[in-house]
């Protein structure tokens, strides 16, 4: 287990799904930092993401896969 740990709240989860920078930071440090996500943070992010995604013209279901265990967690270069 890494020596460093961070607890990720709902706001960070939403930014990781909607944006690029937060997701890149998480990916960059994933091997060196243990990220902990409380269930309540997942629930809150899942509650607000669909509306935010629809406002941006995106697919809420696709965006929510990032929050599901076993969902897509890394960008695809395809």
Domain layout of the chain by residue ranges = 4-64
| Better-predicted residue by pLDDT, 14 or 69 | 14
Angle, helices 21-29/10-18, rounded to nearest 10 degrees: 110
Contact between 42 and 13 (Cβ < 8 Å): yes
| Better-predicted residue by pLDDT, 67 or 17 | 17
pLDDT tens digits, 26-51: 999 999 999 999 999 999 999 999 99
Mean pLDDT of the chain: 87
Residue 17 burial class via C-beta count within 10 angstroms: exposed 0-12, middle 13-18, buried 19 and up? buried
Count of C-beta atoms within a 10 Å radius of residue 70: 6
- What's the pTM? 0.78
- pLDDT, residue 52, reads 95
Confidence band (pLDDT; 50, 70, 90) for 66? confident
């Amino acid at each position: 287990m890494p020596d460093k740990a961070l607890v990720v709240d709902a706001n960070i989860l939403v930014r990781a799904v909607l944006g690029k920078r937060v997701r890149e930071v998480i990916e960059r440090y994933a091997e060196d930092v243990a990220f902990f996500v409380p269930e309540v943070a997942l629930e809150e992010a899942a509650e607000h993401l669909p509306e935010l995604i629809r406002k941006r013209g995106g697919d809420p279901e696709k965006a929510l896969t990032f929050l599901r265990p076993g969902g897509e967690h890394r960008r695809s270069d395809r």
